Amino acid sequence: MSPPLSQRTLLPNLGVARYRQIADALEHEIRNGYDVGQRLPGEHELAERFGVNRHTVRHAIDMLIDAGLVARRHGAGTYVAGKPLAYAVGSGSRFTESLAKGGHSTESVLIRKQVIEARGGVAQRLKLIDGATVFAIETLRSVDGGPFCVISHFLPASLGEAVFDAYKGGSLHALIARKTGIRPERVKSLVTTVPVEPEDAALLAIAPTQWVLRVKSVNVDAATRKPIEYAVTRFRADRVELAVDIA
Question: Can you give the residue range of the structural domain that contains 61?
Answer: 12-80
Q: Are residue 127 and residue 225 in the same domain, yes or no?
A: yes
Q: Are residue 95 and residue 139 in the same domain, yes or no?
A: yes
The C-alpha atoms of residue 234 and residue 77 are separated, in whole angstroms, by 22
Q: Are residue 238 and residue 179 in the same domain, yes or no?
A: yes
Q: Are residue 35 and residue 139 in the same domain, yes or no?
A: no
Secondary structure E strands in the chain: 70-73, 77-80, 85-89, 106-117, 133-143, 146-156, 184-195, 211-221, 227-236, 240-244
Q: Are residue 60 and residue 155 in the same domain, yes or no?
A: no
pTM beyond 0.95, yes or no: no
Q: Are residue 42 and residue 140 in the same domain, yes or no?
A: no
H or E stretch at 31? helix 18-33
Average pLDDT taken over every residue of the chain: 86
Q: Are residue 119 and residue 235 in the same domain, yes or no?
A: yes
Q: Are residue 125 and residue 193 in the same domain, yes or no?
A: yes
The pairing of strands 85-89 and 240-244 is parallel
The verdict on residue 35 lying in a domain is yes
Give me the CATH number covering residue 177.
3.40.1410.10
The verdict on residue 2 lying in a domain is no
The verdict on residue 231 lying in a domain is yes
Give me the CATH number covering residue 44.
1.10.10.10
pLDDT tens-digit series, residues 52-98: 999 999 999 988 887 778 888 777 788 887 777 777 776 666 677 77
Q: What are residue 197's DSSP bridge partners?
A: none
Q: Are residue 70 and residue 119 in the same domain, yes or no?
A: no
pLDDT bucket at 135, cuts 50 / 70 / 90:
very high
The contacts of residue 97 (CB under 8 Å, 6+ apart) are: none
Question: Is the pLDDT at 5 greater than 50, yes or no?
Answer: no
Question: Is the pLDDT at 201 greater than 60, yes or no?
Answer: yes
Last residue of a domain, one of 80, 98, 124: 80
Least confident segment among 22-31, 85-94, 107-116: 85-94
Instruction: Pick the closest to residue 162 from 139, 183, 138, 181 (CA basis).
Output: 181
Q: Are residue 76 and residue 92 in the same domain, yes or no?
A: no
How far is CA 207 from each of CA 27, 136, 154, 195, rounded to the nearest angstrom? 23, 26, 27, 10
The verdict on residue 223 lying in a domain is yes
Q: Are residue 18 and residue 115 in the same domain, yes or no?
A: no
Q: Determine the pLDDT at residue 100.
A: 75
- Mapped onto helix, strand or coil, the DSSP state of residue 15 is coil
The verdict on residue 3 lying in a domain is no
Cα 235 to its chain centre, rounded Å, is: 4
H or E stretch at 131? none
pLDDT tens-digit series, residues 28-55: 888 887 877 788 999 999 998 988 999 9
Secondary structure E strands in 54-202: 70-73, 77-80, 85-89, 106-117, 133-143, 146-156, 184-195
Number of domain units in the chain: 2
Backbone phi and psi for residue 200, each to the nearest 5 degrees, phi listed first: -65, -40
Last residue of a domain, one of 80, 96, 122: 80
Q: Are residue 100 and residue 38 in the same domain, yes or no?
A: no
Question: Is the pLDDT at 178 greater than 90, yes or no?
Answer: yes
